[in-house]
Structure 1
Amino acid sequence: MSKQANLIDRIVSSPFFEKAMVKAESVMANDKMGLLRIVQHSLKKVSELAAQSNLTVVRLLNHYVLLFSEMIKAYVQGRYKKLPAVTLVKIVAVLFYFVSPFDFIPDVLPLIGFTDDLALVLWVGKSIKHELDEFEKHANV
């Protein structure tokens, strides 16, 4: 097993990601405005990271968070209905995980604190690549 796969497995099975999944499922079922709030928090955090660093990994993280956010906004506004519920839950869980300062690798640790966030965002981005491509075609993002 590769180091990245091992890290992802450990993150996904962590109580931190489990909590993010529970929050995501609850928001999906009961609080559409909560979807927009998590988008707002995610965009704020990624813009703060981008302002602090011009690293390629931060730009990649920024790209995915922006794309995930656009998908959620389009879904909530009814402009994009092709998004499978399981995909939306994955995205929302990753955004909850991303904004939480207390996760598998705490964000307060300099430089390495967002390694788990990046790994999880990239993993979900790759796992829903088809949906992302379809959304980008539809929305001209």
Structure 2
Amino acid sequence: MPKKMTKEEAFAQLQKRFDKAETLLKDDAKVQTFLDKLERKIKRIPFVSQEIKNIPVLISMVRSYWKKDYTKVPFKTMVAIVSALLYFLSPIDVVPDWIPVLGQMDDALVIATCWKWVNDDIEAYRKWRKSSQTDQ
């Protein structure tokens, strides 16, 4: 039985994907496909923790950044978010997704670790999104 992931291991998993995230963010042709895959995966998850429920906000933030609608965010924040989403999307990670409950718990921990690390930037984005929606 796989062991539960620690916060330190979650952060290490984020960092491990930074290069891949940076490359992805610079390749417009791949970003839309990546975001579509994420949205499809979320719909297939049988139980959804609060961390997983936050993924649509992260997807929206990446999409807004990619479309250049919202660029008031450090590139390193976007790299961290895409790294967490890459981990979430990967079926083979520290605890494989096919293992019931535990397979989603490590994903949730990596997402939560990222969220905590870049929380101020996410909150700024949420405020921007809310104000831009009321302006229309």
Same fold? TM cut 0.5: yes
Unaligned 5+ segments in structure 1 are none
Deviations 1:57-109 (A, max 9, x none): x1523432100111011111111010110000001111111010100111111
Match of residue 119 from structure 1:
109
**Which runs of 4 or more aligned residues in structure 1 lie more than 6 Å from their structure 2 counterparts after TM superposition?**
none
Pair 1:85-2:108 in alignment: no
1:74 to 55, 61, 64: 64
Q: Please, which of 17, 39, 42 is the counterpart of residue 38 of structure 2?
A: 42
**1:104 is aligned to 2:101:** no
Structure 2 unaligned blocks of 5 or more = none
Secondary structure of the structure 2 residue equivalent to 1:68: helix
Please say if 1:23 is aligned against 2:49: no
Separation of aligned partners in 1, 2:102 and 2:49: 16
In the aligned structure 2, how far is the partner of 1:66 from the partner of 1:48? 14
Q: Percent identity?
A: 23
**The residue matched to 1:116 in structure 2 has which SS?**
helix
TM-score normalised by the chain length of structure 1: 0.81
CA RMSD across the alignment? 2.1
Greater per-residue helix proportion? 1
Q: Distance in 1 between matches of 2:50 and 2:29?
A: 27
Give how far 1:41 is off.
1.2
The 1-side partners of 2:35 and 2:122 are apart by 16
